Amino acid sequence: MAKSHMKSPVVGISATDKVFYLLVNTVLVFLFIVIAIPLWSTITLSFRPNHFIGTNFEGMFLAPWNWSGAAYKALLGNNGFIMAFFNSIKIMVYGVASALFLTVPLAYALSIRTLPGRVFFIVIILIPHMFDVGMIPSFLMVKDLGLIDKLAAVYLPTAVSTYNCLIMKGFFEGIPDELKESARIDGASEFTLLLRIILPLSKPIVMSVGLFYAVSFWNDFFHPMLYLNSNNLMPLPILLRNILMASGMNEFVEVSAFGEAPIQAIKAASVFLAAIPMVIAYPFIQRYFAKGTLLGSVKG
């Protein structure tokens, strides 16, 4: 008996869908152009030689064999830039470690529905998030703690973010209660439960929140400007700010501290060098990023 071969029906794309896809692709192409043109302009500006004569538009089409790496050599050969770069690395590493060390236990404790006073603690955490205490009380607190002119003053006062804590709390609440109860029945303490069961299952949210903290600490220039006085503690955002201001002010040392490279090329090159850590870290964290933030926001 011959078997009948039935073809699956082919569903065509309707005219409405075609218009929708066309609009989406048009918007994406437009966004790509809006992002690509300034990016390419900054890249070519960072490699622009000192003897170049022409407009910025003409500089965007300068041939690569006419590029100059003088700006990058000037930055990488400057002790102040290297010191500021490593100061930012220290702030980011110490800050992320401190923030996760404080945020993870706090978020896990708030995710336990049977925790006595759970609502009270959540309200206490939300109050400073909704009402900023201001700069002067924060400065006085840091001063009383003896953190002025120390790198810890940059990352300790902002080590716990209410937003990140609530996102992580929602993720922990999404882990099945049966898994937690079975571990408790086997005699596991809450600390053991957190380390051996919760954290291995929470890699997406930990990596995502860690990335949030890393970007925040790496780009922070207000707190270093407020709490740090020594030049040897200056992080990269402060140095970049001085470089940007120095382009039109001859009294700043940064104008002549980077050799013969054009100041505009130095500004562009410093932007790319400052973005290197985040550019390197993001591809390794990207696969956890969307999953962690979406799952963490399901419950609150």
Which pLDDT value is given to residue 92? Answer: 92
Is the domain of 169 the same as that of 224?
yes
Is the domain of 33 the same as that of 110?
no
Q: What is the CATH number of the domain that holds 251?
A: 1.10.3720.10
Is the domain of 47 the same as that of 106?
no
The answer to the question of residue 3 being in a domain is no
Residues 6+ apart with CB under 8 A from 165: 103, 106, 107, 110, 125
The answer to the question of residue 2 being in a domain is no
Asked if residue 47 lies in contact with residue 67, where contact means CB atoms within 8 angstroms, the answer is yes
Residue 44: which domain range?
15-68
Is the domain of 117 the same as that of 214?
yes
Last residue of one domain, picked from the residues 51, 68, 85:
68
Region 251-277 average pLDDT? 69
Region 62-66 average pLDDT? 78
Is the domain of 202 the same as that of 275?
yes
Considering 51-55, 102-106, 124-128, 245-249, the range whose residues carry the highest mean pLDDT is 102-106
pTM of the model: 0.78
Is the domain of 124 the same as that of 164?
yes
pLDDT tens across 202-260, in order? 888 888 888 889 989 998 888 898 898 888 888 988 888 777 776 555 444 444 555 56
C-alpha–C-alpha distance, residues 3 and 1, integer Å: 6
C-alpha–C-alpha distance, residues 289 and 210, integer Å: 10
The answer to the question of residue 4 being in a domain is no
| 134: exposed, middle or buried (Cβ count in 10 Å: 0-12, 13-18, 19+) | exposed
Q: Which residues of 222-257 are buried (b: 16+ CB within 10 A; e: fewer)?
A: ebbeebbeeeebbbbbbbbebbeebeeeeeeebbeb
The answer to the question of residue 133 being in a domain is yes
Indicate whether 26 pLDDT > 90: yes
Region 178-185 average pLDDT? 82
Of 128, 117, 220, 115, which is closest to residue 165 (Cα–Cα)?
128
Confidence at 277, pLDDT banded by 50, 70, 90: confident
Asked if residue 254 lies in contact with residue 246, where contact means CB atoms within 8 angstroms, the answer is yes
Of 90, 91, 107, which is closest to residue 208 (Cα–Cα)?
107
Q: Which amino acid is at 117?
A: G
Residues 6+ apart with CB under 8 A from 23: none
Helix or strand holding residue 53 (H, E): none
Is the domain of 29 the same as that of 89?
no
Asked if residue 165 lies in contact with residue 106, where contact means CB atoms within 8 angstroms, the answer is yes
The answer to the question of residue 270 being in a domain is yes
Which pLDDT value is given to residue 290? Answer: 57
Is the domain of 48 the same as that of 96?
no
End-to-end CA distance of the chain: 60
Q: What percent of the chain has pLDDT over 70?
A: 85
Is the domain of 175 the same as that of 41?
no
CA dihedral 278, 92, 270, 66 (to 10 degrees): -40
Domain count, the chain: 2
Asked if residue 262 lies in contact with residue 50, where contact means CB atoms within 8 angstroms, the answer is yes
Residues 6+ apart with CB under 8 A from 102: 159, 160
Indicate whether 72 pLDDT > 90: no
Is the domain of 206 the same as that of 115?
yes
The answer to the question of residue 105 being in a domain is yes
